[in-house]
Structure 1
């Protein structure tokens, strides 16, 4: 075992003494050392229950014949960061989390790891760490939040607050209703109850084979979540004994499976970027962007969840969740891939027990899909030469083709103020730039702007493009991840108020309707603004971060 390097033999009495100083016994010291990387905190709803989950994992590890070694990682809440400077730190936190897990595992020569986290950047960070470390690893989320009281004809969630603020400005709701909504839209802890990046990435972890079958969508408060934690603890010890490491699970074939699942369920656009980063960490030679582009034209849209429908994560779970989706996609998946259960995907799907009946308003078959093409799209055109990302599954058919006049903002805050004050009107294409990995820095989500447009009733008469990102819960006509970003001199940097922009989701095109000569002239005159941070982590991040089309990885 790796841990023998500091615990076994006459020359390692120092290591044994340090372990014994904390009360570890000779019996515990002789067994596989299983790390529990826990992103628990009392400020992130998706991590709030992870102390309890870690206890069940610990019980499982001891039952399986291992010794549990728990440590903490940071983890930030996207919701709290929305619309303010805090969001600049959210995507950069992904690298810190991955690095911290690597440091703890390698510094202490742990034999295996259970990774606990639920939220947007925590999940991909932990999968990146597993791919990098190549030791036995299991990912387990803390589970999803339950839906709240009915608002706007569906179960409410945290987004309802922001949409409601837009509604208030046009008289579609009252302050009293919003005060009540604030108390009732988030009834439990857990990752937010829609198919945002957090729950999308939990689904991706399961589709990769890195979580136990059925683990992605069990609500945080449900008893099955505790049983999954116990089982994950037992099974990680088995993986160590059998030598089934993460690199045997995260493979080219399993990443392709995950891409297909993301497309089929209309997962968050952020999944594209995170899978690029996971493939990079795993050393897998795969053009993830090209695969998304190709497969989005081949894989049908078969699972429809908020924001694409009124159904939330609990409904998705009860309808059969990712096991049902993967079973329905089975003919296009590689079912011989290895999973963290120590069995193939085919074996897992064959033995999975569905506890609730299917709901074909949530999950359909490939033969009878919601749409014949997938719900995530790679965009190209003269505004995004290195690609952009959109989500047809969350875009109304009436605005999948949109032509309008640009109204340009150099930061998110200015755009949000303009939307609320009424400066953004029907027919506008809102352009929010200098929000990419380098320019933001941190590639903030333009979640708030789209929610304000929705609340003001402009979601089918305006569009929004950005070199920033979007939350998985956004809808309306939108294209994000535009690369190259404005800070690097991408064409989005030279768009002017009043320029005509054409967005064609079906043709996967975003174009500035200005002559090539004029575009070239503007680009020649453009000068890069100074980076916004000169000290601290964001200063380092803005210098090292690669484009969204490269997964926003850090690379010297």
Structure 2
């Protein structure tokens, strides 16, 4: 075992005795439990209970559980200020520090306990790098809030702010949204990035049934954690490692369910980065091919009025997988952390609510929930959550209103400078330009709150929160900071968007484009010290482990 390096010599054993471990515990496999618990992230405040349950499961199955931490940022709290520049970079910090702790202490296997946006992909990346037996158990989704008999979530609170500023609701109603929008611990209750990645972890085969959907406050979540603790000992016994599970077929399964579920567009950043750590290059060009044959079966908030708790009641991720596989779209003979194949896992997992999980014969759309667009505005690619776009905005043409940062765009939206038909362009917010690739929930929420969600599009080289809805097109590549064409757009240029055709362009002649390119000058980075600037440099030097543009 790996742990022989630290359990077979007296000096090492002396340090274990200092921890209070008995000889019996030292002789057992050492199982690292990576805990993302902290007191600032609502999705992580309950992870101590999950970790305790995992420890019990490991001990019951004959292992010695030893906990070490991973940092976590709440994207909601980081939103709208310089803190958001640091959110995405924590994914790399989490992966790096977990790798360091695991190798330094010679763990035999790992149980990862994440929940929110960057912890899940960061720990999946670490699992792939380390390639020792690993299993995931998340903290679970938050229950939805309720106002006036209607279920709500965090994104509704963000939109209520703009509704109040526009005079559509009272201050008292805004406060009611504030007080009731996030009623329990857990990852925010819609199909936002955290829940998207926890669900896709289950699809990849790295989490047991229910990992993505059992609510944080349910006792079933504690039971799941105990089973994860027990199962890691089975994976160790059978020598089943992450790269045995996270194969190319597994990633294609994840992309397929991504389309069926209508996950966050951030999954298009995280899945390729995780695959890269597995030695697999996941070309996003295949996303549209998968989307073309995968029906969108779920409209969870913000795309619709259902929440993850209802997806769980309807049968969870396995029920969606079973429904999708009626079309033969999944690779079912690949191994998972359960020790069984995908096919064995999903057998008999029926759809219990055809309003929450549409049958393949009656989908929300015949194509998937995410689309990758290309054109002269985004020569490499950009991404849109198609399932959250109003039908009338699937094809749109309008004049550009260009802003070089999120704050300037917010001021324009809230002051009434943005009108029906406009296309808001926010640039220099990419991995290098931000730096840090901020999420743009505030501008999209402001557009929705001002009643412009069905007539105004927003395009950025930053990214969008999973809570975003409307014609929000992000991850434009190449980004403005490296001279991408988004840097050459001028106010009034006509932007043409055709989501169903996967195209995005702006009307400008080749000669005019070359003239603008010759005149363009790079901007100085807004942050020039610390890990964030090194991360931005790594991105632009082609380090795909950091992020794929």
TM score, norm. by length of structure 1 = 0.96
Which of 502, 520, 525 is matched with 1:526 structurally?
A: 520
Deviation, structure 1 residue 174: 0.5
Equivalent residue, structure 1, for 2:108: 111
Q: Per the alignment, in what secondary structure is the counterpart of residue 216 of structure 2?
A: coil
Contact 1:146–1:219 (8 Å) recurs in 2:
yes
Q: Which moved more, 1:75-84 or 1:176-185?
A: 176-185
Q: Distance in 2 between matches of 1:320 and 1:396?
A: 28
Q: Deviations over 1:213-263 (max 9, x none)?
A: 222110000011000000000000111111111111111110110000001
Separation in 1, partners of 2:497, 2:395: 6
- Measured in 2, the distance between the counterparts of 1:548 and 1:266 equals 29
- The aligned residue for residue 389 of structure 2 is 395
The answer for the alignment partner of 1:297 in structure 2 is 292
Shift of 1:169: 2.3
Cα distance in 2, alignment partners of residues 162 and 300 from structure 1: 30
CA distance in 2, matches of 1:274, 1:554: 8
1:362 aligns with 2:359: no
2: distance between equivalents of 1:337 and 1:392?
29
The unaligned stretches of length 5 or more in structure 2 are none
Moved over 3 A (4+): 546-552
Does residue 3 of the first structure (1) align with residue 9 of the second (2)?
A: no
Cα distance in 1 for residues equivalent to 2:272 and 2:237: 30
Question: How many residue pairs align between the two structures?
Answer: 547
SS at match of 1:329: helix
One of 258, 266, 269 as aligned partner of 1:262: 258
How far did 1:475 drift? 1.1
C-alpha distance in 2 between matches for 1:361 and 1:83: 35
3-state SS of paired residue (1:54) = helix
CA contact (8 A) 2:384 2:472 kept: yes
Distance in 2 separating the partners of 1:316 and 1:508? 29
Given that 1:274 and 1:551 are in contact with CA atoms closer than 8 Å, whether structure 2 keeps it comes out as no
Matched, 1:312 2:280: no
What does the per-residue CA deviation read over 1:36-84, in whole Å, with 9 as the maximum and x for residues that have no partner? 0001000001111000110000000000100001001100000001111
Give the aligned partner of residue 449 of structure 1. 443
Q: 1:86 aligns with which of 83, 87, 105?
A: 83
Counterparts of residues 9-24 of structure 1 (less than 5 Å) = 12-24=9-21
2:44 equivalent among 42, 47, 53: 47
The structural deviation recorded for 1:474 is 1.0
- Residues 55-204 of structure 1 aligned to structure 2 (within 5 Å): 55-150=52-147, 154-204=150-200
3-state SS, counterpart of residue 102 of structure 1: helix
Alpha-carbon separation, structure 1, partners of 2:545 and 2:321: 25
| 1:216-295 pair list within 5 angstroms | 216-287=212-283, 289-295=284-290
Task: Show the 5 A alignment for 1:488-499.
Answer: 488-499=482-493
Measured after TM superposition, the shift of residue 549 of structure 1 is: 12
Which of these residues, 381, 406, 419, is aligned with residue 425 of structure 1? 419
- Answer yes or no: is the 8 Å Cα contact 2:160–2:174 preserved in 1: yes
Structure 1 vs Structure 2 CA RMSD: 1.6
Comparing 53-62 with 366-375, greater Cα deviation is found at 366-375
* Pair 1:215 & 2:211 matched: yes
Q: CA deviation at 1:298?
A: 1.1
2:540 matched to 1:543? Answer: no
Helix, strand or coil at the partner of 1:501: strand
The CA distance in 2 between the partners of 1:510 and 1:104, in whole Å, is: 44
Post-superposition Cα deviations, 1:104-151, rounded to whole Å, max 9, x if no partner, equal: 111111000010111111111111111111110011110000011126
Return closer, same or farther for 1:376/1:548 CA change in 2, 3 Å cut-off: farther
Question: Structure 1 residue 316: deviation in Å?
Answer: 1.2
Separation of aligned partners in 2, 1:286 and 1:315: 31
Q: Take 2:461 and 2:548, find their aligned partners in 1: how far apart are those partners?
A: 17
Counterpart selection for 1:412 from 406, 409, 414: 406
**2:458 corresponding residue in structure 1:** 464
1:348 is matched with 345
> Contact 1:546/1:552 (CA < 8 Å) preserved in 2?
no
Summarize deviations over 1:499-526 as a string: whole Å, max 9, x none.
1111110111110111111111101110
Q: Is the 8 A contact 1:387 1:549 kept in 2?
A: no
Structure 1 pair 497–550 and aligned structure 2 pair: CA distance change class (3 A): farther
Partners of 2:188 and 2:541 lie apart in 1 by 27
Which is further off, 234-243 or 481-490?
Answer: 234-243
Provide the rounded CA distance (Å) in 1 between the counterparts of 2:202 and 2:543. 24
Q: Which runs of 5+ in 1 are unaligned?
A: none
Q: Which residue of 1 aligns with 2:29?
A: 32
Cα distance, 1:418 vs structure 2 = 1.1
Tell me, in whole angstroms, the C-alpha distance in 2 between the residues paired with 1:534 and 1:79: 25
User: 2-side partners of 1:264 and 1:550: how far apart?
Assistant: 27
Tell me the distance in 2 between the aligned counterparts of 1:343 and 1:476.
Answer: 39
Q: Distance in 2 between matches of 1:43 and 1:81?
A: 11
State which of 196, 202, 205 in structure 2 corresponds to 1:206: 202
With over 3 angstroms needed to count, the CA separation of the structure-2 counterparts of 1:549 and 1:180, relative to structure 1, is farther
Question: 1:375 and 1:551 mapped to 2: Cα distance?
Answer: 26
Report the counterpart of residue 467 of structure 2 in structure 1: 473
Query: Following the alignment from structure 2 to structure 1, what is the Cα–Cα distance between the partners of residues 330 and 437?
Result: 32
**Aligned equivalents of 1:142, 1:480: Cα separation in 2:** 28
State the alpha-carbon separation in 2 of the partners of residues 323 and 125 from structure 1: 24
Residue deviations 1:78-109, cap 9 Å, x none? 00011111100000000000111111111111
Instruction: State the alpha-carbon separation in 2 of the partners of residues 93 and 554 from structure 1.
Output: 15
In structure 1, what is the Cα distance between the partners aligned to 2:470 and 2:317?
Answer: 26
**2:156 partner SS:** helix
Contact 2:479 2:487 (C-alpha < 8 Å) held by counterparts:
yes
Structure 1 position 266, deviation (Å) = 0.5
What is the DSSP-based 3-state SS (H/G/I as helix, E as strand, rest coil) of the residue aligned with 2:517?
helix
Cα displacement (A) at 1:171: 2.1
